[in-house]
Every structure is written in C-alpha cells, then in structure tokens.
Chains A and B, each alone.
Chain A
Amino acid sequence: AQTVTQSQPEMSVQEAETVTLSCTYDTSENNYYLFWYKQPPSRQMILVIRQEAYKQQNATENRFSVNFQKAAKSFSLKISDSQLGDTAMYFCAFMKGGSSGDKLTFGTGTRLAVRP
C-alpha cells in the first residue's frame, strides 16, 4: 500500500516571499502520478499542480513549481511570490499509474498562512 507523508502540519510565510511544502511517499510502483491540491477556507479542493513519475522535468504552473526527486520519493511544492490568496490547506496526493481515483492516496495536509 502507498503512503503519503506531509511532515509540516502548519507553515507561515510573508507575502511576496517563497515557501516550500514537503511531501514524501512510499511506493513500490514505478508508474504513478503525484498531485498537489489546495483547500482554501471555502472548502473547495482545487488542483494546483500535477507530475507524472516518468517525466524527469519538474512541473510548473505560474508561481507554483515542484521539486520531484524520484529516487528519494520526495515531491515538494514551491510557492513563489506568495499571495494572501494562497492561504489554505495543501494536500499532497499519490495515484498509481493505470488506475482511477480509487487509488488516490492523500497526505494529512499542511496548513499555510500567508502574512500581510
């Protein structure tokens, strides 16, 4: 079974600065996908960024980027130029390749507060 670990329950960053959220996972699979979801106070789960394990290039979406270290089984999220609207819970998630959402495993989340 896969496990996803987010070791930082809470983090805080000053507006306009950069913050990195950590995520590690444990799997014996070689084909899989990794995701970061954002959950603002509105409760909506929003996909932030995704990464295919077979791709060596780190995914980037505007101010959000990942540092994917496959050998270390690490998938950290970097938020650049933090904005107040980035305040949210962030969940890391793992999906086995070739499966549907029934194989999506979530971490316990990191609560990020962006200070003005």
Chain B
Amino acid sequence: NAGVTQTPKFQVLKTGQSMTLQCAQDMNHNSMYWYRQDPGMGLRLIYYSASEGTTDKGEVPNGYNVSRLNKREFSLRLESAAPSQTSVYFCASSEIGGGANSPLHFGNGTRLTVT
C-alpha cells in the first residue's frame, strides 16, 4: 500500500547543478502534480499532468521541467539549481477532475537545499 513514492528524501545541490526528483504512484490515478512548500507560503503548484501524455504549468514553473514518463511516474527536473529553489517538494496524484470525491494524495516530500 505504497501510495505516492518520492525519491530522494533529502538532497543538497550546489548552484548550477542539475537533478531530477522522481515520483511514482500505484493508485492508477490519472492526474499528477508537483508542489513546492516554503515557510509562510503554503503549497504552490509548479507543474501538473492532467493525464498521461500531457503537462501544464502551474503557479511557479520557472526553472523547472517535468516529464510524465507513463501513467505511474512524473518527474521534476532542475536544470541549473538556484538558491531560490531551496524548498520542500511534494508530488501528488488524483483522479481526473479532482473534487471532494477524489482529493489529492501526497508523497512524503523531498527537502532540497541549494547552496
């Protein structure tokens, strides 16, 4: 009963380095999301994928790219990390349409520090 699995749990990068955050869900959900959480700002949507084969920008997409590899997996890539990208990153999934009957299910988050 894994739900949404994110890797890694922690990561430290130097400015300019690149990395990919991995996310996989085993609930056969169609929609997947990447959020970032910063102190005092709640969660903000970076990118989402409403269904396999589609991706769209959220509120704060600059500096990130995503890939919906298949129905299960949705990765987030930082091509050239910046200190402003220091944050906790959450992956989530839901059925298409969301709503009260299909709320988001979250992974455990990745704490990323960029020095």
A interface with B by C-beta (< 8 Å)? 4, 33, 35, 42-47, 50-52, 91, 95, 97-104, 106-109
Contact = CB atoms under 8 A, between A and B. Distances in A.
Contacts of A98: 97, 99
Interface residues of B, number: 28
A100 B50 contact: yes
Nearest to A52: B100
Interface in B69-115: 88, 90, 92, 94, 96-100, 103-106, 108-109, 111
A95 B99 contact: yes
Contacts of B106: 44-46
A50 B41 contact: no
B45 A50 contact: no
A81 to B, nearest CB: 24
B53 interface: no
A104 B90 contact: no
A56 B96 CA distance: 25
B56 A102 contact: yes
10 contacts: A33-B98, A43-B111, A45-B43, A45-B92, A47-B103, A99-B98, A101-B94, A102-B33, A103-B98, A108-B41
